[in-house]
Amino acid sequence: MLAKRIIPCLDVKDGKTVKGINFENIKEVGDAVELGDWYAKRGADELVFLDITATNEKRKTLSELVTRIARKINIPFTVGGGISSVEDVSLLLSCGADKISINTAAVKNPRLISDLSQQFGNQCVVLAIDTKYIDGEWYVFLNGGRIPTDIKTLDWAKKAVALGAGEILLTSMNHDGTKNGFALDITRSVSESVNVPVIASGGAGKMEHFVDVFQKGKADAALAASIFHYREIEIPDLKQYLHENGVPVRL
């Protein structure tokens, strides 16, 4: 069985790492370069960098900051925020990113997924889905969770993978920052419906939550931010706990 991955997330705004709850009440938590370096040294399997206001502010991801982080780390590095073209991806890969994450641009132009997959390989293309549970159904949201759509999350995940997405980063807006556990139902539904890895995001608060999302949610990786940023859970301790509870991880 493939090892499950633990992925810290750097949500970046104005060059600083930030964190909120349910995508709101954003607070600064530290320097992105220093945090990336710390996580790489502490056993993180990958690192995700999301420029959370790039799309809403209609600008591109902070490429200079991406370069500085990439120089510090030796683990796979995914970058997202404001990416809408092959040229954007070429720039970020040249800055040191290993994979890119697309969200709003892919919904507005699904062909972008195919173009990027053909140009760079599907292993490079991570489809980020910000999803919210409303009236008994999970729906896709755009622009950093600001704009609702009538697109059902499961339908979009299947379509995106068919177009060439090589991985799904699934964030539950209902659970984001609450520390009450991941959204196990939609994570499991997506994981069982696509043939690419699914990264669960939103709601991590205790080590038990990671066991649940791997065993019950069928996730391939789990992403978290605040519990790592505030050192509430240390990655080596989490991996040892997962190992002891039957979850295969890279120790």
Over pLDDT 90: what percentage of the chain? 79
Q: Answer yes or no: are the C-beta atoms of 12 and 229 closer than 8 Å.
A: no
β-sheet bridge partners, residue 109:
none
11: annotated active-site residue: yes
177 lies in some domain = yes
* pLDDT at res. 143: 87
pLDDT of 30-46, one tens digit each?
Answer: 788 999 999 999 999 99
Strands (E), 81-237: 99-102, 125-134, 137-142, 147-152, 167-172, 198-201, 221-224
Report how many domains make up the chain: 1
**Banded model confidence at residue 12, pLDDT cuts 50, 70, 90:** confident
Which residue, among 217, 214, 154, has the nearest Cα to 183 in the 3D structure?
A: 217
36 lies in some domain = yes
220: annotated active-site residue: no
* pLDDT at res. 47: 97
The residue from 11, 51, 176, 220 that is catalytic is 11
Query: Residue-wise over 83-111: b if at least 16 C-beta within 10 A, else e?
Result: bbeeebbebbbebbbbbbbbbbbbbeebe
The residue from 45, 51, 88, 130 that is catalytic is 130
215 lies in some domain = yes
CATH of the domain at 83: 3.20.20.70
* pLDDT at res. 119: 98
96 lies in some domain = yes
Q: Which residue has the tokens 């990264």?
A: 199
pTM: 0.93
Range with lowest mean pLDDT among 48-57, 60-69, 135-144:
48-57
- DSSP conformational letter for 93: H
What string of DSSP letters covers 135-177? Answer: TTEEEEEETTTTEEEEEEHHHHHHHHHHHT--EEEEEETTTTT
Which residue, among 133, 220, 221, has the nearest Cα to 178 in the 3D structure?
A: 133
Residues 6+ apart with CB under 8 A from 209: 181, 182, 203
* pLDDT at res. 100: 97
pLDDT of 142-201, one tens digit each?
Answer: 988 889 999 999 999 999 999 999 999 999 999 988 899 999 999 999 999 999 999 999
55 lies in some domain = yes
pLDDT at residue 52 is higher than 90: no
95 lies in some domain = yes
250 lies in some domain = no
- Neighbour tally for 142: CB within 10 Å: 19
249 lies in some domain = no
pLDDT of 110-150, one tens digit each?
Answer: 999 999 999 999 999 999 999 999 999 999 999 888 899 99
Provide the domain limits for residue 115. Answer: 5-244
Chain mean pLDDT for the chain: 92
Name the phi and psi angles at 228, rounded to 5: -85, -45
pLDDT at residue 27 is higher than 70: no
